[in-house]
Amino acid sequence: MNINLTRFAAIAAVSFIAFHAGAACAATVGHATDVIGTVTVKRAEVSAPVKSGDGIEPGDIIQAQEKSRVKIIFDDKTEFVIGGPGKVTVDAYIYNPGNSGDNKAEFSVLGAAFAYVGGLIERDKKPNVKFNLDFGSIG
């Protein structure tokens, strides 16, 4: 019994360290603000509640329950408000003020109401912004 408990503790410790080491290396591209109700973020198959100030990364799936919402402010000052019920995936986000040719923002929106106010990426000569929606795409 003690051997199983020790193995479990060792596996849990390694998993904890690996998850947090990966999170420390990931690129935060925005932050959540104005969280109302139940909003979660799924990252690396782990879901957690979103709090104001939490970082948002490419690949994150943000899900808002009914009567819930969150505003995300991205590095280029883009503002994205997500209202539930529904979810938004940050498919890609690159903001490089030194080379606007690299800039890109792509989001998948499923069932969520949303408001989008473009930031500096939108000011590029050829902005690379795309929304994949339930019924088609924009951008």
Tell me the average pLDDT across 113-139: 90
Choose from 11-15, 16-20, 44-48 the range with maximum mean pLDDT. 44-48
Residues in the chain: 139
The model scores a pTM over 0.85? no
- Dihedrals φ, ψ of 111, to 5°? 75, -10
Nearest in space to 116 (alpha carbons), one of 95, 135, 96, 90:
90
Tokens matching residue 104:
């890109």
The domain ranges of the chain are: 29-138
Cα 24 from chain centre: 15
Q: Taking residues 35-47, report their average pLDDT.
A: 96
Structure tokens at 98: 């030194």
pLDDT (0 to 100) of residue 63: 97
